[in-house]
Amino acid sequence: MAMVRQTRQRAAVVEVLQASRAHPDAATIHAAVRERLPSVSLGTVYRTLDALVRDGVVVTLERAGQATRYDWRADEAHPHAVCRSCGAIFDVDATALPDVPSTKLPAGFRVTDMHLEFMGVCEDCQTLNSST
């Protein structure tokens, strides 16, 4: 990590992100960090997240009308499955996906990043909706 200063607050944010596969938003991260460091501010959490994103350690997952979510696994590019009902975001194993053929891209186009999302309804929401 290329951050200049490693504070207790920053270390706690990193630990929360590394321990989560739920792709938490800043408020959720803040609540988890406050369990360990009650005086940490939401602003500190946002500044830390911004630095982690700038450093390429964390990626943001943005959805219109929803809080930005954060994914620690920036070094392991992978698609996500997003539940349209509850908003849960799940990691998808990218090894089972076919490569995108470069011949279909515009001539001279150089890919620098790719985001792939599968939209649908998670198993919990399907179960909940079928029982009502």
Contacts of 18 (CB under 8 A, 6+ apart): 72
pLDDT score for 25: 96
CA distance 72 to 59: 7
Range list of H helices, the chain: 8-19, 26-36, 42-54, 123-130
Please tell me what DSSP assigns to residue 77: -
102 falls in which pLDDT band (50, 70, 90)? low
Give the model's pLDDT for residue 114.
73
> How is residue 25 annotated by DSSP?
B
Selected residue with higher pLDDT from 63 and 14: 14
Q: What is the pTM of this model?
A: 0.77
Tokens of 63: 């959805």
Give per-residue pLDDT as tens, 25-83. Answer: 999 999 999 999 999 999 999 999 999 999 888 989 988 888 999 998 767 778 889 99
82-100 pLDDT tens trace: 999 998 999 888 776 777 6
